[in-house]
Amino acid sequence: MVETNTFSGTTIAQADYKMEHIVYELNKVAAELAVDAAKEVTQLEPHKPRMVCGAIGPTNRTLSISPSVEDPGFRNCTWDEVVTAYKEQVAGLIDGGVHIILVETIFDTLNAKAALFAIDEYYEESGCPRLPVIISGTIVDMSGRTLSGQTTEAFYVSVQHSKPLCIGLNCALGAPQMLPFMQALAGVAECFVHSYPNAGLPNAMGGYDDTPQMFSDAVRQFAELGLVNMLGGCCGTTPEHIASLAQMLDREKFKPHVRNPLCDKMRLSGLEAITVDANLGYVNIGERCNIAGSAKFKKLILDGKYDKGLEIALAQAESGATVIDVNMDEGLLDGEYAMKKFLNMLIPEPDVSKLPICVDSSKFHIGVAGLKCCQGKCIFNSISLKEGEAAFIKNAKIVKRFGAAVVVMAFDEVGQAATYEDKCRICKRAPPMPSPLLSLLLSLFSFSLPLSLPLSLPPSLPPSPSLPPSPSPRCAPLSCLGLAQSHVISRHLRRAYDILVGPEVEFPPHDIIFDPNILTIATGLEEHNNYGKDFILATKYIKENLPGAHISGGVSNLSFGFRGLTALEAEYGFIVSQPALERARSQL
């Protein structure tokens, strides 16, 4: 494989030379020249066909890092500008006849996600047959991180949604320095793996001293350890270096890297990666950066004190949050502006941005604005069938294109699934009756209180019953307080699941999180008495019927009827949380 000389072939990079107007032509002609050369060599050696990779570089801008030390939230380009630039480059390369698209030398994963977004969008808009994609990241030093701060594993999790043919590392380091990071990547990648390092580290003059023999000896370790399927050279390598490498590989006949099996667990990432499985245990969603849920955070944001809002995010991270939720839904606020400003300020804070982000909004465009700021794999909260199937499919495809997991609300064109009967009335089949142990737990969630209630409650409470064992051992719990794994009961969710995992969207089942609505109880209204019970029954049905999916349950919603009774609200939250915590601890 050879690549086109189009590393900086975008309008953003070529603006430095006032050559934006010829970017399409530059890429198309470069591809045509490379393809012609590959055809000539293939004719001489038809048993070894030569392929051309259309090279897409990182541009000279970064979406995750501010160019101003005084303003960490500032960016000198936008996501939309980068996507537009990449889409024009992709069009030129494809029209020029390349066989593979190569997104390479990735120092900022958000730039790479913009490139992958542009590639996917181009195919959808043009109807052009899809070409294989190869992705190559760059670890900048021995910290094992990209320039924008991601670990090797987090980088992979952030781009795996594009289903690359091959992923690997190139540039910045020589082969000896790259070894531990290649081992990490080969340990998680579900596709082929490559490496094309530099000819050693640069010398004082910016040159490279490794001879062809030294270079081939250095990269040999990757093949000996079974880490790679493809090898090549980057900075400082010449045709002689590649010839020496090819001769070594022909002579030794190393066994290629064996791809890892497909992961059927949810993976998320910020600067670091997490896998949501039984080993992770309880997952704590920090929701204090949610305007709808925190009066303190709301006041800070409305007063323009975004830096103080970051302190709340940091406190959650230091207190053990696994994911940070950000919501800017407020009538007096420009939600899209606030979401972008806050996340752009949050991303440079490594103690917070090491965690995955849950971009949370009832307005789709505000949530999308958040996704455009995050280099990691996020959770998008939420989409629903409320506006019909066409809108649901369109929005799901957009979320998938960003590589995010998704929360699906229990709404459809008819309305919200409020009661158990609502959920069941249009199900494909009725759920089984709950077991006696589950019925005991349900009783905790199904009651109404008298209007006169003492505010002083006993300091110690009887132990709460544990949740029954999961009937589906293939799926581990996410959590009952923030996210708990499951499969769904209502028409809303069953229908949504079938659409998402079907051929039109092909959303990974393990990246789907259903919210079947926990609604307020203890309001004094009889029709509200079963809301808690309905949610648990729905959760049970979800576990047994929709493989791979998870459940989001806002347990605090149950106590909205206690507003103003702070002591009661806190005590009730403790009671209902204990079964979830006991269940999570039992699986650690």
Burial of 520 (0-12, 13-18, 19+ CB in 10 A): middle
Angle at 65 between CA 63 and CA 68, to 5 degrees: 120
How is the chain split among helix, strand and coil, in percent rounded to 5? Answer: 45, 15, 40
**pLDDT at site 473:** 30
CB atoms within 10 A of CB 340: 21
CB atoms within 10 A of CB 145: 19
The DSSP output letter for 201 is S
Nearest C-alpha neighbor of 113 from the set 367, 369, 347, 375: 375
Distance CA 155, CA 109 (A): 7
Decide the pairing of beta strands 166-174 and 192-198: parallel
AA letter at 159: V
Length of the chain as a residue count: 588
Nearest C-alpha neighbor of 496 from the set 357, 376, 396, 354: 396
**pLDDT at site 588:** 53
Nearest C-alpha neighbor of 492 from the set 406, 393, 396, 408: 408
Contact 59, 12 (CB under 8 A): yes
CB atoms within 10 A of CB 455: 9
Only one residue has tokens 């103003």, namely 564
Nearest C-alpha neighbor of 113 from the set 181, 60, 61, 63: 63
CB atoms within 10 A of CB 351: 11
Distance CA 147, CA 275 (A): 23
Sign of CA dihedral 143, 148, 151, 156: negative
Q: Where are the extended beta strands (E) located within 416-531?
A: 483-485, 512-515
- Residue 542's beta-bridge partner residues? none
Angle at 96 between CA 93 and CA 102, to 5 degrees: 30
What lies within 8 Å, CB to CB, of 438 at 6+ separation is 468, 536, 540
What lies within 8 Å, CB to CB, of 391 at 6+ separation is none
Contact 353, 323 (CB under 8 A): no
Q: How far is CA 549 from CA 386, 425, 515, in A?
A: 20, 21, 11
Contact 248, 132 (CB under 8 A): no
Tokens of 80: 């939309």
Q: How many CA atoms does the CB half-sphere of 165 hold within 13 Å?
A: 13
Listed by start position, the domains of the chain span 2-252
Local mean pLDDT, 10-residue blocks, the chain (588 residues):
96 97 98 98 95 97 94 95 98 98 98 98 96 97 96 98 98 95 98 97 92 97 97 97 96 95 96 93 86 92 97 96 96 96 97 98 97 98 92 97 94 72 39 42 34 30 35 33 34 82 96 85 77 81 85 72 74 72 64
Angle at 162 between CA 30 and CA 145, to 5 degrees: 90
Q: Mapped to the 3 state alphabet, what secondary structure does 245-288 carry?
A: HHHHHHHHCCCCCCCCCCCCCEEEECCCEEEECCCCCCCCEEEE
Only one residue has tokens 């028409």, namely 491
For the CA atoms of 548, 549, 550, 553, what is the dihedral angle to 10 degrees?
A: -160
The distance of Cα 470 from the centroid of its chain, to the nearest Å, equals 27
Distance CA 7, CA 4 (A): 8
**pLDDT at site 581:** 67
Q: Where are the extended beta strands (E) located within 306-387?
A: 323-327, 357-360, 379-383
Distance CA 410, CA 448 (A): 24
Name the CATH architecture for the domain at 2-252: Alpha-Beta Barrel (3.20)
